[in-house]
Chain A
Amino acid sequence: MNWDWEKLQKQQQGRPGGKPPSFDDFQDQLEKFKQFKLPGWKLILPVLILLWAASGFYIVEPDEVGVVQQFGEFNRITTAGPNYHIPYPVESVLTPKVTQIRRIEFGFRSSGRARVQNFQQGVSREVPEEALMLTGDENIVSVQFIVQYMIKDAKDYLFNVYDPSGTIVHAGEAAMREVIGNGKIDDALTTGKQEIQVQTRDLMQKILDSYQTGISIVAVQMQNVHPPEQVVDAFKDVASAREDKSRFINEAEAYQRDILPKARGEASRVINGAQAYKEAKVRKAEGDASHFLAVLKEYEKAKDITRERLYLEAMEGILQNPEVEKLIMSDNALKQSVPYLPLGQLPRSGATATPKATK
């Protein structure tokens, strides 16, 4: 009958919390064993003891540690590989994954799933009551961020804190709000992100260490930081105003770059024109001078005759023109005639004095 009790114990141990065998089953088993009789418990007992002892073997994966409790009390930490503990009910083992980096979302939920999860790309949904926070200059900013953490001390993690991941959520919210509350809105929106991330991580670590949670904060990463929806247009307008500013300046510089080379070109044209004028003028003078000097040289050789020739050629040239009126009068006739100046015809005939005649 002894083996019956052993068997029962074994069954209960095999499936703790399971349905205990019904009375009928028990009765059946009893009947069976009664018929069986031999080889008897002398053989079965050692086998059962062996099986019980064998249940103490366990394997710790590379990303885990084994935490062994003896009668509930923490006893030892075992490392990766096959290990052994005294079987139930003396010792039990827990194998938390200590190298796994876990992730908690703040201010948003990706794909509407639980906030504690492994990384997953996808649509996210904002949770404004978590995301909105006050800044030190009394503005409101919406900050979405994630916290990555891992277990640095399995014993503390398992036994010290009632709800480790809830504690991280608390610490994360408190820390980020404290850091954002110490800064200005522009720091959060623009250049101060790195600094905020580092400060928040350090503060979270400090808080969690003070609770001895055994958790190490790997990183705090700000995801989407933006002004609250109610004022986002005004913020966007500032950005486009900044763009406008540089656009105005660029346009002015374009104008500048357009007109100045043109002006320099024009200047060069004017100066070159003047130089051309100068050179032409000088060369003309030199030409004229050479001409004059050449003629003069010959003139000086036969002054009178040349003079006469030149004079006659000139007069000939003038009087040759058929449109020039010619009138020959004797001195006396000229003296007797009343000089009559046809004033009405003056503009037409021009000044018709007789400078030549007096010569």
Chain B
Amino acid sequence: MKKSTVTLIVLVILGTIVLTQSAFTVDQTEKAIVIQLGRPVGERALGPGLHFKLPLVQNVVYFDARILDFDAKPEEITTTDKKYMNVDSYSKWRIVDPLTFYTKVRTIQGAQARLDDIVRSQLRVALGRYTLIEVVSHKRQEIMDAVSSRSRELLEPYGIEVIDVRIKRTDLPAENARAIFGRMKAERERQAKQYRSEGREASAKIIATADKERAIILADAAKQAEIIRGEGDAQATKVYADALGRSPEFYAFTRSLEAYRKGFGKNARFILTPKSPFLKYMQ
């Protein structure tokens, strides 16, 4: 092997060592600061891309530049109406000033401890001013905004930006939940009763109306029937009167005869004298 080749190889190896020791990349998701013998170099953190440092004396500390989570443990909080609730919140935060962050809290765990302290106490303060139902419903946004902005102020000195503190769950302790279940049950039972009695009421009304209508229909029919019968009787009477009026005397005679015929049946006893017109010819 030639001497120049060996020199080249040595140069290349040395070059590679220097390059790997001095060049470094910062990912899009990161920020970095360069530390020279324990002291940060430069005013600002390094963004993503290719960067260089002095080999051996400088080293790089990387920070996550993304939005990070802090999921707090659920905590029992007393509301202004003396009710207890378990509030489960989360925070979204970001390292905005890695230099400050590095000097004050150093790690993500350290930051989360601060977040825990601050967010927890802010939540307590804010929730203590409202009633349970306000927390659950219409005041929720207001509370979260207040906690977020106050936490943001308090955490700014640590190089942390609190983006959002949000109440995830608001649950009731077991005994309160039981009370609510009892009330819900009672409410539903009342409602069920109401439905059933409404049903019975409507049913009774319909039946009564139907009965009434039936009675009216039948009475109407009876009335009309009487009127019709009356008309019939009247017409018949008129017809009789018209016809019989022609000779009341003859009518009385024939009618009497007919009545005798019908009226004197068995067991009748006739005592006839010779003066009777019937016996006129027997004398």
> Interface on A for B, CB 8 Å cutoff?
1-2, 5, 69-74, 89, 129, 132-136, 138-140, 158-163, 166-167, 170-171, 173-174, 177-178, 181-182, 185, 207, 210-213, 227-228, 230-231, 234-235, 237-238, 240-242, 244-249, 251-253, 255-256, 259-260, 262-264, 266-268, 270-271, 273-275, 277-282, 284-286, 288-290, 292-293, 295-296, 299-300, 307, 310-315, 317-319, 321, 323-331, 334, 348-350, 352, 354, 356-357, 359
Contact = CB atoms under 8 A, between A and B. Distances in A.
7 contacts: A69-B28, A212-B67, A268-B221, A274-B225, A281-B232, A330-B274, A354-B271
Given A72-B49, A161-B66, A299-B250, A139 B180 contact: yes
A274 B226 contact: yes
B203 A251 contact: yes
B17 interface: no
A240 B189 CA distance: 11
Contacts of B205: 252
Nearest to B133: A138
B206 A327 contact: no
B202 interface: yes
Contact of A253 (B137, B206, B232): B206
Nearest to A332: B273
B217 A263 contact: yes
A348 B183 CA distance: 88
B50 A71 contact: yes
A256 B137 contact: no
B229 A278 contact: yes
A160 to B, nearest CB: 6
Given A241-B196, A324-B269, A359-B277, 14 more contacts: A69-B27, A72-B30, A132-B171, A139-B180, A158-B29, A161-B66, A171-B166, A255-B206, A264-B217, A270-B224, A285-B240, A324-B264, A329-B271, A356-B276
Interface residues of B, number: 119
Contact of A289 (B49, B227, B242, B278): B242
Question: Helix, strand, loop or mixed for chain B's interface?
Answer: helix
Given A253-B206, A266-B218, A357 B254 contact: no
Interface in B225-276: 225-229, 231-233, 235-237, 239-240, 242-244, 246-247, 250-251, 253-254, 257-258, 260-261, 264-276
Interface string B67-96: 111010000000000000000001010000
Nearest to B32: A72
Contact of A293 (B225, B243, B276): B243
B257 A5 contact: no
A244 B196 contact: yes
B243 A259 contact: no
A289 B243 contact: yes
A163 B69 contact: yes
Contact of B6 (A1, A89, A185, A284): A1
Given A181-B140, A234-B184, A160 B66 contact: yes
B236 A281 contact: yes
B282 to A, nearest CB: 8
Contact of A292 (B207, B211, B251): B251
A90 to B, nearest CB: 9
B69 A162 contact: yes
Interface stretch (B8-16, B98-106, B109-117): B8-16
B24 to A, nearest CB: 9
Interface in B161-218: 163-164, 166-172, 177-178, 180-181, 183-185, 188-189, 191-196, 198-200, 202-207, 209-211, 213-214, 217-218
A130 B25 CA distance: 42
B141 interface: yes
Contacts of A245: 195-196, 198-199, 202
B277 A136 contact: no
A177 B86 CA distance: 14
Nearest to B1: A1
Nearest to B27: A72
A134 B211 contact: no
Contacts of A174: 90, 166-168
B205 to A, nearest CB: 8
Q: Pick the most buried of B12, B225, B265: most chain A CB atoms within 10 A of its CB.
A: B225
Contacts of B209: 256
Given A274-B226, A281-B232, A284-B236, A178 B27 contact: no
B154 interface: no
B156 interface: no
A268 to B, nearest CB: 7
Contacts of A160: 66-67
A67 to B, nearest CB: 9
B140 A289 contact: no
Contact of B136 (A136, A228, A235): A136
Contacts of B184: 139-140, 185, 227-228, 231, 234
B128 interface: no
Contacts of A138: 132-133, 136, 180, 183
Contacts of B92: 167, 211
Contacts of A246: 199
B276 A241 contact: no
A136 B214 contact: no
